[in-house]
Amino acid sequence: MPAATPKVYVVSAPSGAGKHTLLHEVFERNEGLEYSVSATTRPPRPGEVPGRDYCFLSEDAFRARVDAGDFVEWANVHGYHYGTLREELERLIASGSDVILELDVQGMRSVKAVYPDAVTIFIAPPSLEELGRRLRERGTDHPEEIALRLRNAEEEMAARGEYDHVIVNDTVVEAVQELERILRRNRHDASEE
Q: Is 16 in the site for ligand 5GP (CB under 6 A)?
A: no
Tell the smallest beta-carbon distance from residue 84 to ligand 5GP (Å): 4
In degrees to the nearest 10, what's the CA dihedral of 191, 97, 6, 23?
A: 100
Whichever of 72 and 187 has its CB closer to ligand 5GP, that residue is 72
Q: Is 106 in the site for ligand 5GP (CB under 6 A)?
A: yes
| Amino acid sitting at position 80 | Y
Q: Is 88 in the site for ligand 5GP (CB under 6 A)?
A: no
Q: Is 103 in the site for ligand 5GP (CB under 6 A)?
A: yes
Q: Is 104 in the site for ligand 5GP (CB under 6 A)?
A: yes
Whichever of 100 and 103 has its CB closer to ligand 5GP, that residue is 103
Q: Is 120 in the site for ligand 5GP (CB under 6 A)?
A: no
Out of 18, 102, 123, 175, which residue is the one contacting ligand 5GP (CB under 6 A)? Answer: 102
Q: Is 41 in the site for ligand 5GP (CB under 6 A)?
A: no
Q: Is 75 in the site for ligand 5GP (CB under 6 A)?
A: yes
Tell the smallest beta-carbon distance from residue 88 to ligand 5GP (Å): 10
- CA pair distance 11, 108, nearest whole angstrom: 8
What residues line the site for ligand 5GP (CB under 6 A)?
A: 12, 38, 42, 73, 75, 77, 82-84, 102-104, 106-107
